[in-house]
Amino acid sequence: MIELDNVSVSFGDKRVLDKLSIKIVPGKTTVIIGRSGSGKSVLLKLMMGLQKPDSGRVILFGHDLAKVTQLELLELRKRMGMLFQNYALFDALPVEENVGFTLLENSDMGRRDIMTLSHELIRILHLQGSERVLPSELSGGMRKRVSLARSLIANPEVVLFDEPTTGLDPIMIAQVDEMIALAKTQYQITSAIISHDMASTKRLADVVAFLHDGKIIFEGTYDEFIDSQLPPLRAFVDGAQTSRLSRGDDVAESAAAAPITDTPVVELVGVHKRFGDKHVLRGIDLPIYPRRVTVLIGSSGSGKSVIIKHVMGLFKPSAGEIRVFGKDIVPMNDLELNEVRSRFGLLFQHAALLDWLTVAGNVAFPLEERGGNLTRAEIKARVEDILEKLHITDIRNRMPGEISEGQKKRVGLARAIVMRPEIMIYDEPTTGQDPLRTRDIDNMIQETQEQFDITSIVISHDMASTFRIAHMIALLNHGEIAAYGTPAQIRASPNQHVQNFIHAGSVEGH
C-alpha cells in the first residue's frame, strides 16, 4: 500500500530521517514506535504526500509521488484516512458534521445517509448526545474520538494514526484500540499507527517498527520486539515496563504513608458546578497538602480540568467553598484573584509556546515580564539551569515550529518551573511522551517539588506515572471522587471503577 524507499529528510543541518525504508503491507497493522522527536510524525507526512523527501522515493498505491500531478495526489489521498495528533477538527461545525465532513465534501452520498453513518460511529465511540455539540465544548478525549470517527467514515483503504490514544485515560485507550481493531476486521483496513503506548502496541500490532537515529532499526512481531537485545530497544522496553504498569512496585511510599498534619494549602469544600442542566462537579471535598504532589486522575470528562479552573479562580462554583492559602477565593474580585494566581505556575497540555521566540526566549519570557529585579545575567543563568535539567540545551536556539511535540512539552515545563511558583499545576505533563521521557518528566516533577519546596497538582491519565510521583491521589468519576488517598490506599480500593482504571493500561507478562 505504502512504501518509503531510502528516504532522507533534513531540517536545516538536522537530519531527521536517514535513508529510511519501510513497507506498509495490505491488511496488516504496522505500529511505528520510537523516542519523542525521532521523526515519526515526519514519516506520516511523507506517507500522506504532505512533505517531500530530500532524496529517495515515496510510493503510494503503486504510484511514485514524485511523478504524479497535484490532482492525482489528491485522488490518492481520498483513499486514505488520517487521525491527527491534535484532532484538527473544525471549530464551527458540530460533531456530526465533523465526523461526516469527508463524505459531505467528497462524495455523492445524500446528506441523510451520511448523517446516519456519522451517528452510528458516534454511538460506537460512546459520544451519544454530542451530535450537535461544537468541539470547543468537548473534553480532549472526546475530541480525539470525534477525530477517529471522521478518519473511518469514508471506509478508507489505509488509515494513518498519529498517536491515536495520546491524552486518553487507560479505559478509553482500550476502547479506542478495540475500535481500531474492529475497523480492521469489518473493513479490511490497512493501518500505520504512530504510538508510544506499549499496551496499545501489544493489542494492535501485526508488525512493530522501531525508529531510531533516522532509520528503522527493527521490524517484527510484538514478541520479537520485546525479546530483542538491541540496546535502543532494550532501553525503550525497560522504560515502558515501569511507565504504564499498574503495580508501582518501585514507588517509595514512605513519604506518602506518613500521617499528614499540615493545613491544606488548597481545599475544596462541598463544591458543585453546573453548566446549564449539566451537573459537572457533584459535592467535591478535596484537600491539597503543602510540599506534596497530589494527582487528579480520571476518565476524560470526569471533572479534573474543571476542578483546576476553580482552584485558579477561573470558574465560580454553583455551591461550596474554595480555600487557597487559607482564604476563600469565591467572593474575591479580579484584582485579588490575580494576586493569588501570581503564586501559581501552570504547564498547559499543549505547551502554548510563543511562536516568535526561541526555546531559550520562551523559557526566559516570564522572568523578563515579571521577574522583578533579576539582572539579565541572573535570568540567563536560571534559564540555562532549567534547560540542562530538562535535557533541552541542544534546542535552545530553535523556534517552536522547528521542534517536535514532545520537545514543545518540555519547553513549556521549563518555562513554568523557571518562575519557582509556590503551587505548580501540571495539565497532563506526560501526554504524548515516550516511556523514557515520561520517566524523565516524572523525575523532574519530583525534583522540582523537592528542590523548590513547592506544592504540585498534577492532572493525569497515566496510572503508573501517578503511582510513581504522587503522595496523594484523587481518582474522579463523573464529577465525584471515587477514591482519595495514598498510592497504597488507592491500590487497595474496593471500588470496581478504580480497579478497572488501574489495570486497563498494564501489559501483562511484559
Sorted by where each starts, the structural domains of the chain and their CATH numbers stand as 2-241 (3.40.50.300)
Predicted confidence at residue 507, as pLDDT, reads 55
Structure-block grid coordinates of residue 416: 513554568
CB-based contact 303:280 (threshold 8 Å)? yes
- CA proximity to 10, closest of 53, 46, 40, 44: 53
Predicted confidence at residue 383, as pLDDT, reads 94
pLDDT averages per 10-residue partition of the chain, 510 residues: 93 89 93 86 89 94 93 90 82 94 88 92 86 86 83 87 80 80 80 87 94 92 92 83 43 51 91 90 94 89 89 93 94 92 83 91 91 84 89 92 80 86 87 78 79 86 86 92 92 87 63
Predicted confidence at residue 440, as pLDDT, reads 77
What residues contact 413, with CB distance under 8 A and at least 6 apart?
Answer: 347, 390, 426, 429, 441, 444
CB-CB neighbours of 70 under 10 Å: 7
Strands (E), 317-465: 319-324, 327-328, 344-347, 423-427, 455-460
387-420 burial string, b = 16+ CB within 10 Å, else e? bebbebeebbebbbeebbbbbbbbbbbbbbbbbe
Predicted confidence at residue 223, as pLDDT, reads 93
Cα–Cα distance measured from residue 164 to residue 431, given in angstroms and rounded to the nearest whole number: 12
Predicted confidence at residue 256, as pLDDT, reads 47
Predicted confidence at residue 371, as pLDDT, reads 67
Cα–Cα distance measured from residue 138 to residue 135, given in angstroms and rounded to the nearest whole number: 5
Q: Report pTM.
A: 0.74
Cα–Cα distance measured from residue 106 to residue 66, given in angstroms and rounded to the nearest whole number: 24
Angle between helices 111-124 and 140-152 (to 10 degrees): 130
- CA proximity to 272, closest of 317, 214, 212, 221: 317
Predicted confidence at residue 249, as pLDDT, reads 40
